[in-house]
Amino acid sequence: MNGITMDQWLKIVPDSVVNLPEGLRNLLFQLYQTFIAADRWKWFLNGLKITFAVTIGALILGVIIGLLIAIVRTAHDSRRMGKSNIILSILNAICKLYLTVIRGTPMMVQLLIMGFVVMVPKDDTARLVCGIVTLGINSGAYVAEIVRGGLMSVNPGQMEAGRSLGLNYAQTMRLIVIPQAIKNILPALGNEMITLLKDTSLVSVIALRDVTKQAQNIVSNTYQAYVPYVSLAIIYLVLVIILTKLLGIFERRLRESDRR
């Protein structure tokens, strides 16, 4: 429903608002329709909860997938697995195929395939899972390269030192190489989280009611697109600025710990 009309709204606002220039008066009316009428500010709030849930869930899944793929590809490149080289080559080929497909197709297309072909969710919970899984699989391809770059940045002598102490390849990676690589990959993972946050705007195509979908719902109710969509852009901008600031603080602390 469109809610109250402009004439009805003008009857309940102060005269100071009525006497404003028409353009400013229309803007205030759209703000009223977007946020105040029917408590639509709660729509944005509920949408943000979904947005954060998808972002965090997809990041966790992406890190797990990316870490596994990065370890496989790094192990394959090092050629230090003895008799397991054939199996490792097969796993590496699968990982490369995954990276090629995921990075070579748009996320929108991946969401459409997962939402309407593979998973076909029937309720809000299933749609949330579908969104997290799809974005997590997509993110995993990029996290894999981030982690692989971090592993490769560790001095090869660290691997040799671990092997000389009697540790096998997996133990050396887990106890020596990965802990050192974490510092190098954490800032990049933070940037991936920012990218994921913005990419959650695409989950509206599977009818998941994130903040973008809620803005679209408000437009369909008010028939006014200016304020809802500009407000949506401001919400994302503020969130990205906050996350960027937090990442900057985190990176400075990492640099300070390196100097000690």
Contacts of 161 (CB under 8 A, 6+ apart): 176
Number of folded domains in the chain?
Answer: 1
pLDDT for 48 beyond 70: yes
Q: Please, what is the angle between helix 22-31 and helix 226-259, to 10°?
A: 70
Residue 81 has pLDDT above 50, yes or no: no
Residue 82 has pLDDT above 70, yes or no: no
In this prediction, what percent of the chain has a pLDDT beyond 70?
A: 95
Residue 33 lies in a domain: no
Q: What is the pTM of this model?
A: 0.86
Q: For the chain, how many helices (H) and strands (E)? A: 12, 0
Residue 56 contacts residue 197 (beta carbons within 8 Å):
no
240 found inside a domain: no
pLDDT digits (tens, 9 = 90+) for 106-149: 999 999 999 999 999 999 999 999 999 999 999 999 999 999 88
Q: Is residue 259 assigned to a domain? A: no
What integer is the mean pLDDT of 169-193? 82
Q: What is the distance between the alpha carbons of residues 132 and 126, in angstroms, rounded to a whole number? A: 10
48/211 Cα distance (integer angstroms): 5
Amino acid at 227: V
CB 154 within 8 A of CB 180: yes
In a domain, 8, yes or no: no
Mean pLDDT over residues 66-83, rounded? 76
Q: pLDDT band at residue 3, thresholds of 50, 70 and 90?
A: low
Q: Tell me, what CATH number does 96's domain have?
A: 1.10.3720.10
The confidence band for 177, taking pLDDT boundaries of 50, 70 and 90, is confident
Q: Please, which residues have CB within 8 angstroms of residue 196's CB and are 6 or more apart in sequence?
A: 54, 55, 58, 59, 62, 135, 139
Its domain, for residue 158, covers 42-210
Strands (E), 8-77: none
Q: Is residue 242 part of a domain?
A: no
Residue 106 counted as domain residue: yes
Distance, C-alpha 192 to centroid of its chain: 7
Residue 17 forms part of a structural domain: no
Residue 254 lies in a domain: no
